[in-house]
Structure 1
Amino acid sequence: MTDAQVRLWLGPLAAVLLFTGMFAVGLMIPGYSHVRQTVSELGEVGSPGRLAFSVLLLLVAACLIVFATGAAATLRAAGCSTLPAGLVGAMAISAAGVGVFAFPQPLHNVFGLSELVGYQAPLAAALVGRSVPRTRPIRTFSFVMYALVLLALAANMTTLHRHGDLWLHIQPVYGVVQRLLFAAWFCWCAGYAVLLMRIRRLG
């Protein structure tokens, strides 16, 4: 296994680490509900899980950075743009910022909004490499996952208008809605890593 292939495994590891970590930190907070409450509440100022949540997001960010370097090396070797890898790196920076600056610090929301840049990584992966036939499975998978990311983003945007009928239905399960967005992006990240490994094996 090459060094780049090892680095690609950090993509799936980031996904597993995030979701197992969120569940574990939730256990530290009496009465916390993954269904109703936001992820930010795990590490907000005054929360028993604040330190653990910060460490978790910094670890996830580190995994994403290492994965991005492996993705960039693989894309470059295949003759493709490294833009998707750069956007994964942007997501890493956003995740680190969210972890370091606990809610309600103003920078928490700034870094949270900056995740919109990283959420474009599946779109970039769907568009690059069109002249390279062996990237077709990656492009198809990324297009489907980007559609799911957009749907999840749309559902999350209901927080901007909290007086409509739609919000009344979403509010009791907003924790799930928010996690669906993370799930869509990190599932893409894990699947993208596996497909990139295949590209490397094919040479």
Structure 2
Amino acid sequence: MSYFRYKSAYCAGLIIPFWLFVGVMIAGLLYPDYSQTNQAMSELGAQGAPTHVLSPLMNNYPLGCLFIIFGIAVSKSFRESKLAVFTGLLISIHGIASFSTGYFSCDVGCSLENPSTSQTIHNYSGLVMFASLFLASAAWGYLGRRLLQSSPFSVFSIVCSLAALVTLPLMGKALEAGHYFGLFQRINYGASVVWIAGLALLMLKRSRHMQT
């Protein structure tokens, strides 16, 4: 395994949740009366939003690059496992979908009624973002023990996958109720990006071990 060759790329995965947190917080502060608890992250880049231009430049595009870089590193580090290579591809696909959700913004307020073509593409891109990281983390529930000899990471991967899955219906109910959608969305996506950081951290530790 070529762990030591991709240390910078592993670091890209490690900083993803921190970048996301800071980026969303700053964009939210620049959006008057924006609610991190009730509003979707997509509303930060929606048509007519005060942060319409800034949000994708601060969040979607740089995060997309980080995901792609890390995904390529995962695929190259585990060439002996087709499933692991596929998870790297899924992570990179997530990065591409992040670009898409930033470029194709949702309508004002991200209303689901009569969405424009841009919002329709945005919504499908968001679905790809969820599915890609969910499948990747679920796969590492098996691969963590097999490739990294880490049962704790396998359990961690399964827990993060379940957290992302369980919050989906909660997001739906919150959307209907008009409250706490933002909270459940952040838990949903947060579980996935924390998993990315966990994988990156474990691979960084392995890279140091390979060098000693």
Q: Normalising to structure 1: TM-score of the pair?
A: 0.85
Residue 61 of structure 1 aligns with which residue? 64
SS of the residue corresponding to residue 158 of structure 1 reads: helix
Residue 147 of structure 1 aligns with which residue? 162
Of 74-83 and 142-151, more deviation after overlay is shown by 74-83
Question: Structure 1 192/61 Cα, relative in aligned 2: closer, same or farther at 3 Å?
Answer: same
Residue 90 of structure 1 aligns with which residue? 93
How many angstroms apart in 1 are the aligned matches of 2:82 and 2:186? 34
CA distances 1:70-123 after superposition (whole Å, capped 9, x unpaired):
222222368973122111112111111111111022211121122232122101
Out of 170, 190, 204, the residue aligned to residue 197 of structure 1 is: 204
Question: Structure 1 131/185 Cα, relative in aligned 2: closer, same or farther at 3 Å?
Answer: closer
Residue 121 of structure 2 aligns with which residue? 107
Out of 44, 47, 54, the residue aligned to residue 46 of structure 2 is: 44
| 1:62 Cα deviation from its structure 2 partner | 0.1
How many angstroms apart in 1 are the aligned matches of 2:174 and 2:123? 13
Question: Structure 1 176/72 Cα, relative in aligned 2: closer, same or farther at 3 Å?
Answer: same
Out of 179, 185, 201, the residue aligned to residue 178 of structure 1 is: 185
Of 2-11 and 128-137, more deviation after overlay is shown by 128-137
| 1:10 Cα deviation from its structure 2 partner | 0.5
Residue 158 of structure 1 aligns with which residue? 173
| 1:28 Cα deviation from its structure 2 partner | 1.2
How many angstroms apart in 2 are the aligned matches of 1:102 and 1:12? 27
SS of the residue corresponding to residue 155 of structure 2 reads: helix
| Contact 2:174-2:181 within 8 A present in 1 as well | no
Q: Which runs of 5+ in 2 are unaligned?
A: 108-117
Q: Quote the RMSD (CA, aligned, Å).
A: 2.3
How many angstroms apart in 2 are the aligned matches of 1:75 and 1:137? 19
How many angstroms apart in 1 are the aligned matches of 2:171 and 2:153? 26
How many angstroms apart in 2 are the aligned matches of 1:131 and 1:48? 48
Residue 31 of structure 1 aligns with which residue? 33
Q: Normalising to structure 2: TM-score of the pair?
A: 0.82
How many angstroms apart in 1 are the aligned matches of 2:79 and 2:207? 11
Number of aligned positions between the proteins: 195
Overall identity of the aligned pairs, in %: 25
Residue 16 of structure 2 aligns with which residue? 14
| 1:136 Cα deviation from its structure 2 partner | 3.3
CA distances 1:106-165 after superposition (whole Å, capped 9, x unpaired):
2111211222321221011112365446243432221121121111223223368x3xxx
| 1:11 Cα deviation from its structure 2 partner | 0.8
| Contact 1:36-1:175 within 8 A present in 2 as well | yes
Residue 165 of structure 1 aligns with which residue? none
How many angstroms apart in 2 are the aligned matches of 1:53 and 1:6? 25
| Contact 1:83-1:124 within 8 A present in 2 as well | no
